[in-house]
Structure 1
């Protein structure tokens, strides 16, 4: 069994359902300490984080990942136990195989190899891991970055190991991500009997025209790097459960995925203006989980990762800003260039999550090549 496959299996066996690390970070810290990394265990709230570094000064190249996984769903629906790594027909099955214990293992193996081959490398190489990416993400990388702001720790370039590929390793890298702005909207009405609507005010009826206007609004046109901003409603709840009662309140969950063509403040203001224009009596609690970020075309890390994919995988990668959010959204505001490179994402969060063993065994080579090109 290869080093990366062996470590991936060891990590999968640890039932690290967010935010429980289940011992993954101490295992990794021990391995990296053995090859000369400085180890910092950073615990915030109930979340364990690890910052391991080798070398001194700049540039600072960080690899970023998470050890926590989402729940399995019905374990009986899996073809093999989700926390017992199982290889079938060249594919490794297990919760976290793709998202993202395979990438974490590949990073560890790549860093071990790199510092052994280049003990006096330029700059600093680091590994930042958290057990709070799949959950609330309040005490993971978000808080680590705040800690770095207090201590003066910088990151110049960051490779995130999120599963990025579509069909095979290296066919797509993420060079940015959209921002995410969510809102919990409360529409106030007046409860009453459905037979006497004149004595009530139905918040569902009031909200419906405003919702149509919000859904039809063209928030921006996007730009060369991002698609247009999207608005979605993920849940609407109203009513008492009785068919003869007009509800007194409606609660809707809304979300913007926005590009650099818009700002969170601008989207909030425009949405609230539409609601007021339709006479909606409302309050809304906004939550900004991340601003959009983009690795500038021509940036050093972006060029290196594209070149490594070409040289190691024999493919010219698509450079995308699609998908959801990642912990890269916390690191980018530090001034870091952020690129995401990992295995195929087709099965993440699903029953029978899996990763190609061939892709997994090639991944350390990509990460090690990035280190060599960035810190030589």
Structure 2
């Protein structure tokens, strides 16, 4: 495939507005690229109307290597902060600008082009490659969770997540988990001049706020790559008007976990605190969790990392810096599938993710395509020998 055709695939993908919706249109476009190849198995799994996950498998038999990328992007934000339309990709000085150029339509497009070129070359594979293109990664990895539950990630021999890693300079093998939670407080409205007739939901919510961080101080382990846990209260709201005792209040908290602590220990701490506080008169607190993800432990000596380093030396003339990630990705869900395998995160894209004027360096995008192809060939061959 010519370089311009590879770039046009990325451009067309960016033009499809998939801001936490409309992923089906992007899935349709990518699926159409595989239509000429009878030996490519294309499947869809619908999450909601207009929101389709895409699964493409190439190769006849044997072990399966997973390729992971998400179809959705974050909102562009203030359009005045962009130098051009975020959904009309622009190329300037070897950089392609547009929403998703870094996170992560360049990675997804590179995976797709790598598979297409393998099909074009008719080079036999020593196994299979399965693309797992998901919905909703930016808001909770629920597309990956759906694919995992349906069995599409069962018994993989390895997984590449094509999230941006500083222009292919790093290879991420471990990542923090994330727990987003909401605490609700139910009170009773009354006139602020007669507070004795009401129950102040904000006051009761503050009881939790004042104590939760002290409870989490017990988690003192420090990961050599990821560091310690982090916990922040990031949103608080409540009340109806200034002269009324608030009948409702809520807060949102965000915990970034490390492999030393499974998510359940945090659930237990919160449940313990709520049970104690709810014993007090008129306190009514409850918790809800939003798409929590476990931390990814990884293994820096795993075969998939060794194979990636050998391929990087061949394609890039250097090896990757081994690193961890402070953010969660779809790999956390896929690793819950049947079987035991390791995942790595490696992809094109700059540090401009989620920012205005997001971009990818086109030479890096093209290198990523070559890397994915050669890695897949060598890793599958190694696994069958």
TM over 0.5: yes
Q: What pairs up with 1:301-340 in 2 under 5 angstroms?
A: 301-334=304-337, 335-340=340-345
Q: CA deviation at 1:200?
A: 4.7
The 8 Å contact of residues 114 and 372 in structure 1, kept in 2 or not, is answered as no
Structure 1 position 339, deviation (Å): 0.9
Deviation of 1:225 (Å)? 4.4
Q: Does 1:125 align with 2:125?
A: no
Distance 1:306 1:215, change over 3 A: farther
Q: Is the 8 A contact 2:259 2:295 kept in 1?
A: yes
SS where residue 154 of structure 1 aligns? coil
Instruction: Name the CA distance, whole Å, in 1 between partners of 2:206 and 2:77.
Output: 35
Match of 1:245 in 2: 244
Q: Which residue of 2 aligns with 1:164?
A: 165
Please show how residues 48-67 of structure 1 align to structure 2 within 5 Å: 48-67=52-71
Deviation (angstroms), 1:315: 4.1
What are the residue-to-residue correspondences of 1:238-317 with 2, within 5 Å? 238-242=238-242, 244-277=243-276, 279=280, 281-317=284-320
Q: Which residue of 2 aligns with 1:70?
A: 74
Q: Provide the residue aligned with 1:14 in structure 2.
A: 16
Per the TM alignment, residue 125 of structure 1 is displaced from its structure 2 partner at its CA by 1.1
Q: Which moved more, 1:122-131 or 1:313-322?
A: 313-322
**SS across alignment from 1:121:** coil
Q: What do the CA deviations read for 1:66-125 (whole angstroms, capped 9, x no partner)?
A: 222222224343211112111112211111111222112211221223344463221111
**TM value normalised by structure 2:** 0.86
RMSD after superposition: 2.5
**Which residue is equivalent to 1:141?**
144
Residues 176 and 256, structure 2, Cα contact 8 Å, conserved in 1: yes
Q: Unpaired segments of 5 or more residues in structure 2?
A: none
Determine the C-alpha separation between the residues in 2 that align with 1:210 and 1:131: 34
The separation in 2 between residues aligned to 1:299 and 1:180, in whole angstroms, is: 24
1:203-232 Cα offsets, whole Å, 9 max, x none, are 433443542332243224133343222222
Tell me the residue number matched to 1:87. 91
Of residues 88-97 and 303-312 in structure 1, the stretch that sits farther from structure 2 once superposed is 303-312
In structure 2, the CA distance between the partners of 1:37 and 1:352, relative to structure 1 (3 Å rule), is same
State the Cα distance separating 1:374 from its structure 2 match: 0.6
Per-residue deviation, residues 15-74 of structure 1 (Å, max 9, x unmatched): 233320363323322323434312223323222122111223332101111222222224
Contact 1:170 1:313 in 2 (8 A): no
- Partner of 2:102, secondary structure, is helix
Q: Assess, with a 3 A threshold, how the Cα gap between structure 1 residues 224 and 197 changes in structure 2: closer, same or farther.
A: same
- 2 CA distance for matches of 1:365 and 1:175? 21
Structure 2: how far apart are the matches of 1:137 and 1:297? 24
The number of residue pairs the alignment matches comes to 369
Assess, with a 3 A threshold, how the Cα gap between structure 1 residues 162 and 200 changes in structure 2: closer, same or farther.
same
CA distance in structure 2 between the partners assigned to 1:287 and 1:15 by the alignment: 24
Task: Please state how far the C-alpha of 1:233 moved relative to its aligned partner.
Answer: 1.2
State how far apart, in whole Å, the 2-side matches of 1:42 and 1:193 are. 52
Distance 1:32 1:220 in 2: 50
Give TM-score scaled by structure 1 length: 0.88
1:42 and 1:202 map into 2 onto residues whose CA distance is 46
**Aligned counterpart in structure 2 of residue 107 of structure 1, from 108, 111, 128:** 111
Contact 2:182 2:287 in 1 (8 A): yes
- Distance 1:269-1:370 versus aligned 2 partners, 3 A rule: same
Instruction: Indicate how the Cα distance of structure 1 residues 345 and 332 shifts in structure 2: closer, same or farther if over 3 A, else same.
Output: farther
- Cα distance in 2 for residues equivalent to 1:62 and 1:340: 12
User: Structure 1 stretch 198-207 or stretch 324-333: which is displaced more?
Assistant: 198-207
What SS does the aligned partner of 2:129 have? strand
User: Hey, what's the Cα distance between the residues in 1 that align with 2:201 and 2:89?
Assistant: 51
Distance 1:319 1:11, change over 3 A: same
The answer to whether the 8 A contact 2:148-2:336 is kept is no
Deviation per CA, 1:337-371, whole angstroms, max 9, x where unpaired?
Answer: 21111123422122211111221121111111211
Confirm or deny: 8 A CA contact 1:214 1:231 kept in the other structure.
Answer: no
Match of 1:183 among 156, 163, 181: 181
